[in-house]
Chains A and B, each alone.
Chain A
Amino acid sequence: MRETAPHLEQLFERLPSHEREGQIFWKLRSRMGRNHLNYLLTQARLRTSLVIGLSTFFWLGLFVLFYSGFNFVVGQLGQPGETYHAQTVQFVFTLFFVSLQVMLIFSTGIILYGSLYSSQETAALMTLPIRDERLVFYRFQEALFFSSWGFFLLASPMMVAYGIVVHAPWYYYVYLPALMASFTYIPCALGAIFCLFLIWGLPRLRRIIVGLFALSVIAVAYHSIWRTLDIADADLLGAVWFRETFHRFEFTRGEWLPSTWLSNGLLEAARPQSPDPADLPWVESGKYLIVLLSNALILHLAVLWTGRSWFRTSFSGMNSQQAREIRPRSAWIDRISEHLLVAFPKKTRLLIMKDLRLFRRDPVQWSQFLIFFGLLLLYFANVDRFRQHRTDISVLAWVNIVSFLNLAVVGLILSTFTTRFIYPLISLEGRRFWILGRLPVERDTIIWGKFFFAACGSWLPSAALVMISDLMLDVSPMVVVVHQLICLLLCIGLSAMAVGLGALMPNFSDQSPSKIAAGFGGTLNLVLSALYILVVVFLTALPCHFFLLAGHTEIPPKLLRPNFLRLWLSLGLGISLTVTCLVTIIPMRLGLKAFRRLEV
């Protein structure tokens, strides 16, 4: 049955139009969304409730924070329309939006790169008669959603709080979502175009270029912040400081920046109408909305054009690269680790080394580790402003509180890592369990190997971070010792919980660690970890706090007697130690028992 040319032409003519393709993808998304929602409401209620509850709590917390902040600004600088108010709020808004603008460019580019060039779904869709621009747009919509939800979560409480504080008219709230949505589209589209261009034009240099770009952004941001804070304490927050800082960040208020259009649009919408009848704030704000919207629409067309012109070529180019060969000889980090692990039995050491190699050869794992701990390091390296006013008891108390908060933050970030990377370790062994199962290694050794890998691997960076924080804050030696002890306990407890619960509730059907971590067991691990951190930190932070206050406040001296406080601190440490023993022994025992009986 030979196909004739007119017959084929008829087939091609029946292919969906551009709009129809969009409708089909919309139907696809709706169905997947509905099925996923069903799953969340029937099989993942705990996780769903936690996510909704924590997001609401976070939103409300931010709202209260911004509400108080703007109330302070209005109290100090007057209502909108007044010069200082306008300048200050514009300074805050533009700085905030320009930072998020840069982050949106990066995050969209990175997410789109992953979903376009290393996704099985994209490869499958490419074999269907779908226009390249539609396919790119479909993936871009996902990248847009995943990179911008954080922006909305951060910016919406801020904008609503500002509107309420300055008694903004009704149209401020009407403009708000439109302004934010059209603004978000611009950096996200730029990130997408940048990503496609890079892979199309310079696929081999993509990592270097993105790395250099990221480093230059960090350098500019760090330099600006450093110069802003690096002044004598007496001048801080003074008129000269404000003027200099205002000028230093002039670049964030460039008229060509979408972040400036957004903040101007919001400020115009929020200000009261002047007596001049020709002055219409809603019209002025509308102009900024039109500028944002028209730019977003032009960039939308640019995304489609780049998708049509560059995507298929760049996809093929990306897949033309020769696979990198891994040098078989052990790396320096392996050799150092082997020396450090010499105290462990040989079999345990080999298992730890295996997990270490898998970890360092997976950039997804260590890059996240590096980013979060790097950001913490940057923050801890700059908390030394508290070192001034050492004689003021309220400052001393704050130093103590901040040092314990830093400890809790390190613990909480560590708990997300143990949930995301350690908890799924046993589940991921599922399909390759025959390798370990056939080896002359006791099953308990495998579990202990993972525990030691997690505990040792997390202790070194966590202890270093906590030590840097303490040194920068110049806390007392007693607090340093307490912090290091708590840090060690946290590393042991969190690792044991993740390994034990991971072995107790393995998931062998999923191969993606993120999906395993997002299941019931992973969520439970995260919640228990957070509770454990809060209990341990609270038990030791409180006696240390009162110990510092002793003799400086009017609290009844009976409660602040050194003996009483020493006992209190010892009790706190003792209970922390007991809690750690419980969260280590119980999950590990249950995990070991379950793993011994495991049949894959």
Chain B
Amino acid sequence: MIHFQHVSRNYGNRVAVRDLDLSIADGELVALLGHNGAGKSTTIKMLVGLLRPSAGTVSVCNHIVTEHPREVSRLIGYVPDQPYLYDKLSGREFLEFVADMYGLSSTESQEAIERESQRFELTGFLDQLAESYSHGMRQRTVFAAALIHLPQILVVDEPMVGLDPHSIRLAKDLLSDYTRIGKTVLMSTHTLSIAEEISDRVCVMKLGELVFDGKVDQLRKEISGAGESLESLYLALMED
């Protein structure tokens, strides 16, 4: 479903992502881990079409992102680390705008808004202007917008930042449930406990390179003696 083939990306002289080869299949929940500046956000931005690779190709369902950005956008729902909403629109108006852009009919749009507002418990503030929303309310609205068209792939950059425990529970359940219906989730996070709890596979990046790609059990076997938790394994991997 998602293929990164020999993908590199530079910022001036600095290499942010180096020769990345990564494939993610249907129904997988993959957690992308790494220190700050490891290249996680750059990888995600190349996937959603915000950045072009300096070398290599990124494709989604056999569509190369740089050649078919619009088609790829239809297949992806993206939740950025900093949610953007129009201050002078209510949550409902924003969701209607996004649904319209995905080509949903009026009836489909209303059904989808109802579905997502139930799922993310938005009903209490959906008709207020977004300028009055807290960070958590914004994040939940952006989650709803990313899922309004039930995308084949959900890409989430730091999903738990600023969320309260209840919203974190909501988000975790959502991500797990979403892969159960055959959809794919790529999540970049620093919250290792959540990555361990819900992901099928973890990919660890270090200084722009993919240094591990596999299940947590596999990592335990590779780094024996570092401990059982993903946190201790991750830290041991980073120290190498």
Tell me the bound Cα distance from A16 to B105 in angstroms: 10
Tell me the bound Cα distance from A2 to B152 in angstroms: 9
Q: Which residue of B lies closest to A4 (CB)?
A: B61
In this assembly, does B114 line the interface, its C-beta being within 8 Å of a C-beta of chain A? no
By the criterion CB–CB under 8 Å, are B88 and A123 in contact? no
Q: Which residue of A lies closest to B102 (CB)?
A: A129
Which listed residue (B13, B26, B101) contacts A129, Cβ 8 A? B101
In this assembly, does A313 line the interface, its C-beta being within 8 Å of a C-beta of chain B? yes
Q: Mark B23-52, 1 if CB is under 8 A from A, else 0.
A: 000110000000000000000000011111
By the criterion CB–CB under 8 Å, are A127 and B82 in contact? no
- For chain A, give the interface size range: 35 or more
By the criterion CB–CB under 8 Å, are B73 and A3 in contact? no
Which listed residue (A5, A127, A131, A321) contacts B78, Cβ 8 A? A127
Q: Which residue of B lies closest to A321 (CB)?
A: B12
List B73-128 residues whose CB lies under 8 Å from chain A: 73-76, 78, 80, 82, 84, 86, 88-90, 93, 97-98, 100-103
Which listed residue (B26, B49, B84) contacts A2, Cβ 8 A? B26
In this assembly, does A99 line the interface, its C-beta being within 8 Å of a C-beta of chain B? no
Chain A residues with CB under 8 Å of B14's CB are 322
By the criterion CB–CB under 8 Å, are B100 and A27 in contact? yes
In this assembly, does B162 line the interface, its C-beta being within 8 Å of a C-beta of chain A? no
Tell me the bound Cα distance from A344 to B14 in angstroms: 44
By the criterion CB–CB under 8 Å, are A127 and B49 in contact? yes
By the criterion CB–CB under 8 Å, are B181 and A1 in contact? yes
Tell me the bound Cα distance from A466 to B94 in angstroms: 51
By the criterion CB–CB under 8 Å, are A2 and B182 in contact? yes
List B213-233 residues whose CB lies under 8 Å from chain A: none
Q: When A24-B97, A120-B82 are in contact, do A127 and B76 touch as well, CB less than 8 Å?
A: yes
Chain B residues with CB under 8 Å of A16's CB are 100-101, 103
Q: Distance in Å from the Cβ of B32 to the closest Cβ of chain A? A: 17
Tell me the bound Cα distance from A124 to B101 in angstroms: 13
Which listed residue (A24, A132, A321) contacts B101, Cβ 8 A? A24
List A1-41 residues whose CB lies under 8 Å from chain B: 1-3, 5, 8, 11-12, 14-16, 21, 24, 27-28, 31-32, 35-36, 39
Which listed residue (B13, B26, B48, B50) contacts A1, Cβ 8 A? B26
Q: Mark A314-342, 1 if CB is under 8 A from B, else 0.
A: 01100111110000000000000000000
Q: Distance in Å from the Cβ of B123 to the closest Cβ of chain A? A: 20
List A534-556 residues whose CB lies under 8 Å from chain B: none
Q: When A27-B97, A127-B73, A320-B11 are in contact, do A15 and B52 touch as well, CB less than 8 Å?
A: no
Tell me the bound Cα distance from A320 to B181 in angstroms: 37
Q: How many residues on chain B are close to A (CB under 8 Å)?
A: 44
Chain A residues with CB under 8 Å of B9's CB are 320
Q: Mark B44-66, 1 if CB is under 8 A from A, else 0.
A: 00001111101000000110001
Which listed residue (A39, A120, A129) contacts B70, Cβ 8 A? A129
Which listed residue (B11, B50, B71, B152) contacts A126, Cβ 8 A? B50
Q: Distance in Å from the Cβ of B109 to the closest Cβ of chain A? A: 11
In this assembly, does B129 line the interface, its C-beta being within 8 Å of a C-beta of chain A? yes
Chain A residues with CB under 8 Å of B193's CB are none
Q: Distance in Å from the Cβ of A199 to the closest Cβ of chain B? A: 14
Q: Which residue of B lies closest to A510 (CB)?
A: B131
In this assembly, does A478 line the interface, its C-beta being within 8 Å of a C-beta of chain B? no
Tell me the bound Cα distance from A16 to B98 in angstroms: 12
In this assembly, does B191 line the interface, its C-beta being within 8 Å of a C-beta of chain A? no
By the criterion CB–CB under 8 Å, are A15 and B74 in contact? yes
Chain B residues with CB under 8 Å of A206's CB are none
Q: Which residue of A lies closest to B9 (CB)?
A: A320
By the criterion CB–CB under 8 Å, are A322 and B13 in contact? yes
In this assembly, does A439 line the interface, its C-beta being within 8 Å of a C-beta of chain B? no
Chain A residues with CB under 8 Å of B26's CB are 1-3
By the criterion CB–CB under 8 Å, are A8 and B84 in contact? no
In this assembly, does B69 line the interface, its C-beta being within 8 Å of a C-beta of chain A? yes
Chain B residues with CB under 8 Å of A11's CB are 74-75
Which listed residue (A3, A5, A320) contacts B12, Cβ 8 A? A320
Tell me the bound Cα distance from A83 to B98 in angstroms: 60
By the criterion CB–CB under 8 Å, are A31 and B93 in contact? yes
By the criterion CB–CB under 8 Å, are B52 and A313 in contact? yes
Tell me the bound Cα distance from A24 to B54 in angstroms: 34
By the criterion CB–CB under 8 Å, are A123 and B11 in contact? no
By the criterion CB–CB under 8 Å, are A124 and B80 in contact? yes
By the criterion CB–CB under 8 Å, are A129 and B74 in contact? yes
Tell me the bound Cα distance from A132 to B69 in angstroms: 9
Q: When A3-B61, A312-B69 are in contact, do A15 and B102 touch as well, CB less than 8 Å?
A: yes
Q: Which residue of A lies closest to B46 (CB)?
A: A316
Tell me the bound Cα distance from A316 to B11 in angstroms: 10
By the criterion CB–CB under 8 Å, are B74 and A12 in contact? yes
Q: When A16-B100, A320-B11, A322-B14 are in contact, do A35 and B129 touch as well, CB less than 8 Å?
A: yes
By the criterion CB–CB under 8 Å, are B89 and A8 in contact? no
By the criterion CB–CB under 8 Å, are A320 and B101 in contact? no
By the criterion CB–CB under 8 Å, are B69 and A35 in contact? no
Which listed residue (B11, B74, B80, B182) contacts A322, Cβ 8 A? B11
Q: When A1-B181, A15-B102, A126-B49 are in contact, do A121 and B73 touch as well, CB less than 8 Å?
A: no
Ordered by A's residue number, 9 sampled pairs between the chains whose C-beta atoms are within 8 Å are A2-B26, A8-B61, A16-B103, A28-B89, A120-B82, A131-B70, A320-B10, A320-B12, A322-B12
5 A-B pairs closest in CB distance: A322-B12, A1-B182, A14-B103, A129-B73, A124-B84
